[in-house]
Amino acid sequence: MATTTTTDATAEEESDADSALVTARRQLERAAAHVEVDENVIERLRHPTRVERVSVPLKRDDGSLDVFTGYRAQHDDVRGPYKGGLRYHPEVTEDECIGLSMWMTWKCAVMDIPFGGGKGGVAVDPKGLSETEKERLTRRFAEEIRDVVGPKQDVPAPDMGTDAQTMAWFMDAYSMQEGETVPGVVTGKPPVVGGSYGREESPGRSVAIVTREAVDYYDWDLSETTVAVQGFGSVGANAACALDDWGANVVAVSDVNGAIYDPDGLDTRAVPTHEEEPEAVMSHDAPQKLSNEEILELDVDVLIPAAVGNALTADNVDDVRADLVVEGANGPTTFAADAILEERGIPVVPDILANAGGVTVSYFEWLQDI
C-alpha cells in the first residue's frame, strides 16, 4: 500500500477541465468568493488529507490472475469520520476519487451530519466479473484498505457498480481481520446484517422530494409538471417513480442504451429498472425512442440527470430546454455548463443537496451499528 499526496491542478485544468477534482476546486473557489473565509482554510480544503492507492489482485474463475488498482480518498475529517461510496468502474481514477470526496465533505456539511468526505473504488468493469469474482475482489480490496477504514475512521457505502451485497462482503472481510463482527464499518448493508430499510431508495427519494419542493417554490402545479430522467438505476428509477406517484408527468427515462419518451406520461413502475433487468429500458413499449443525448434536449419543466458525471457540458448545455435541473448523479453538470445555465436563468439544484438522502439514511444506519 502507498499513501500519496496531490499537486496543484494547473496543468490538469488545461488538459481535463471537466474532471471531478478540477470542478470541485473551481466550485470551492467560486463559493469562497461569496463568504468571509480565511484563504488558508480554502487552500487546505483544495487538498485531501490522504489518498490510499492499492493493488488488488484477483484470481479469476479460470485460474488466471488480474491485478486492479484501488483507491480511497479521504478529504476532511474535522466534522467526523470520512464518509463516502466505493465504486467499481473502469474509469475510476485517483483524481476522480479526490473530487468526489470533496463533494462528500460539502454534502455532509449541508445536511449537518457529523461526517467528513471520503470516496474510493476499483478501476474495474463490474460487467466483466462473475458474482464469485466480484466477491473475491471486494474481500481483497477490504483487506488492502483495512488500515484506513473503520467505524470511527472512514465508513464506505455503495456507489456506482456496487450494492448492498458488496457492502456485506466488505463488512465480513473486515470483521474477519478484526476478530469480531463490525457492522459499523460500512453502511448500505442488507438489513439482515445491520442495514437500514429504505437505504437503497433514499438517494432517489431525496431527489424526488427536493424536486417537489422546488416545484412548490416556483409555484408550479406538480400535476402539470413534465419531468425527464436520464438514468434509470437506483437513483433515477426511485426518483421517477416517486414523482410519478405524487402526480408529476414523467415523460422520459433512459438507461445506457437510450431513452423512451411518451408526451402523455410514462407508467414508470412498468418500466424495468436496472436492478430488475439491466439495460432493459428500451424494451419497454413507448411511442418514441431517443438517444441519451436527445433526452437532455427535451422541452420539459424538470430535467434530472441521474446517470453519470459530466452529462451536461459546455458542448451540449445550450440545447437544454428544461426550466429546472435537479442533479441526481454526482457531478452531472460541469463547471462551465453550470455557468451557462446560470446565464440562461435556469436554476440547478446541486447534487450535494438533491441526492443527500443516501448519506442521511447511512448516518442513521451507522448510529444503530456503533
What are 158-207's pLDDT values in tens digits? 999 999 999 999 999 999 999 999 999 999 999 999 999 999 999 999 99
Residue 12 lies in a domain: no
Q: Which residues contact 51 (CB under 8 A, 6 or more apart)?
A: 3, 4, 5, 6, 71, 72, 73, 74, 94, 97, 98
Domain CATH for 270: 3.40.50.720
Residues 65 and 165 both lie in one domain: yes
Residue 363 lies in a domain: no
Residues 254 and 289 both lie in one domain: yes
Q: Is 119 known to be catalytic?
A: yes
pLDDT at 116: 98
Residues 208 and 349 both lie in one domain: yes
Residues 218 and 142 both lie in one domain: no
Integer-rounded Cα Rg, in Å, for the chain is: 20
Total of domains in the chain: 2
The active-site residue, picked from 59, 83, 107, 119, is: 119
Q: Which pTM was predicted?
A: 0.90
> Quick check: 203 and 358 in contact, CB under 8 A?
yes
pLDDT at 119: 98
pLDDT at 359: 97
Low-confidence ranges of the chain (pLDDT < 50): 1-17
Residues 279 and 235 both lie in one domain: yes
Whose cell is 461510496? That residue is 85
pLDDT at 2: 41
pLDDT at 274: 72
pLDDT at 27: 94
Whose cell is 455557468? That residue is 339
> Quick check: 115 and 108 in contact, CB under 8 A?
yes
Residues 234 and 184 both lie in one domain: no
Residue 20 lies in a domain: no
Residues 179 and 61 both lie in one domain: yes
What is the identity of the amino acid at 217?
Y
Residues 278 and 347 both lie in one domain: yes
Residues 131 and 213 both lie in one domain: no
Last residue of a domain, one of 195, 227, 254: 195
Residues 133 and 240 both lie in one domain: no
pLDDT at 8: 41
Distance (Å, whole) CA 1 – CA 13: 28
pLDDT at 5: 37
* Domain residue limits at 50: 46-195
Q: Up-side HSE of residue 115: CA atoms within 13 Å toward CB?
A: 35
